[in-house]
Amino acid sequence: MNVMKIGFIGLGRMGMPMAQNLLKAGFPVTVWGRTSSKLQPAIDSGAQTSPSPKDLAAICDLIALCVTDTNAVESVIFGADGIEAGGSAGKTVIDFSTIHPDGAKQFGNRLRESCGMGWVDAPVSGGPGGAEAGTLAIMAGGKAADIDAVRPIMPAISGLFTHMGPAGAGLVTKLCNQMIINASLAGIAEALTLAANYGIDANTLPDALTGGWADSPLLQSHARRMAKGGDEKPMGGMWLKDMDLACDVGRHTKTPLPVTSLVTEMCRMSRERTGDGTQIGIMRLYADKAL
Ligand SMILES: NC(=O)c1ccc[n+]([C@@H]2O[C@H](COP(=O)([O-])OP(=O)(O)OC[C@H]3O[C@@H](n4cnc5c(N)ncnc54)[C@H](OP(=O)(O)O)[C@@H]3O)[C@@H](O)[C@H]2O)c1
């Protein structure tokens, strides 16, 4: 039996452990990155390297991406020496990045028309911990034949893989995931602040609410970190990127998103004022009486 050859581009916090899990499962993996020094952990785990996305696509069956945003995906596929130039029918791109669903649709159609490659958008949930453990929840969009082509790698990286519909549907599902998480976290931040202002130790809230209807993994993990005062490193702009994408899809589909819009602006305000556009930054806004 031929072993599927995998190419991996985007070896960051998420992509590196995913690529390493594929290597551990016995898949041959070839990597490319614009910053070659950052590829070393993958090389140490047994990966080969390629001089360009084009060369990588020419020798691999399945090309996985886990880069920052829509522009980054477009540039590695369609830029100079991009994947498109080395691709052909029978090969598939699987994009694990969180990008605009309309971009995914366009990239999938363009790839199929220009070189015959298949496309699956497969954004992930579970964070770097889930990537390391190989338990990511993956929500996929694409044609049934392309989904079948990527299924063999799922046991190595995912605890749950769900086909949600055509190209773009995986990404809209991921944006729903982000909407639910961020709206819940804003509510938790507000509740912790009310408790603290009443003189209750906010650290005791997650314990006191355990097992009730407000209990959740978010209450048990994030709320504890938020209650401690958030001395963590700012987490950058990814949360805001995802919320802006959700708002944009809301506008295109004429779906009013009042809660998501409000929470998005809270993330933006917290990034502007605290350098952290996540729930920890939102908690700081409450603590500083900036809301
Ligand atoms: N972190 C999370 O908790 C999490 C959870 C779920 C989903 N995601 C999504 O997963 C994706 C990756 O996130 P991450 O946290 O792994 O990000 P990251 O650590 O910043 O890694 C991003 C990777 O993309 C590469 N890259 C960016 N722009 C590129 C370009 N134009 N050409 C080539 N390579 C490029 C970077 O290369 P360089 O090293 O050369 O910059 C880096 O390897 C994002 O779409 C994010 O929204 C993240």
Ligand 1 center from residue 153 Cα (angstroms): 20
Task: State the pairing for strand pair 136-142/124-125.
Answer: antiparallel
CB 21 within 8 A of CB 134: yes
Model confidence at 2, pLDDT cuts 50, 70, 90, reads low
Q: What is the pLDDT of residue 274?
A: 80
- Reading the block at residue 25, the tokens are 């499962």
pLDDT (tens digit, 9 = 90+) per residue, 136-189?
999 999 999 999 999 999 999 999 999 999 999 999 999 999 999 999 989 998
Mean pLDDT for the chain overall: 93
Q: Ligand 1: which atom is nearest the Cα of residue 127?
A: 3
Angle at 132 between CA 222 and CA 97, to 5 degrees: 80
Residue 233 has pLDDT above 70, yes or no: no
Residue range 184-209, pLDDT digits in tens: 989 998 999 999 999 999 999 999 99
What's the 96 CA to ligand 1 centre distance in angstroms?
Answer: 10
pLDDT of residue 230: 54
What is the pLDDT, as a whole number, of residue 271? 86
DSSP H or E stretch at residue 176: helix 169-197
Task: Output the ligand 1 site: residues, CB below 6 A.
Answer: 10-15, 33-35, 38, 66-68, 72, 75-76, 97-98, 124-125, 127-128, 238
Please give the backbone phi and psi of residue 2, each rounded to the nearest 5 degrees, phi first: -75, 135
Instruction: Give the single-character DSSP code of 215.
Output: -
Report pLDDT for 231.
Answer: 52
The domains located in the chain, with CATH, are 6-166 (3.40.50.720), 173-287 (1.10.1040.10)
Residues in the chain: 291
Residue nearest to atom 3 of ligand 1 (CA): 127
**From the CA of 193, how far away is ligand 1's center (Å)?**
33
**Share of residues in the chain with pLDDT > 90 (%):** 82
CA distance 11 to 14: 7
- For the segment 81-99, the average pLDDT, to the nearest whole number, is 98
Q: Which of 39-43, 173-177, 219-223, 244-248 has the lowest mean pLDDT?
A: 219-223
Name the pLDDT band for 1 (thresholds 50, 70, 90).
Answer: low
More confident residue, 238 or 219: 219
Nearest CA to ligand 1 atom 35: 67
Of the candidates 145, 147, 152, 136, the one whose C-alpha atom is nearest the C-alpha of residue 169 is 147
Q: 35, 40, 68, 100: which to mutate for ligand 1, most atoms within 8 A of CB?
A: 68
Cβ neighbours of 35 (radius 10 Å) = 7
State residue 226's pLDDT score.
82
Tens digit of each residue's pLDDT (9 = 90 or more) over 61-78: 999 999 999 999 999 999
Written as six digits, the tokens of 5 are 């050859």
* Catalytic residue annotation: 174
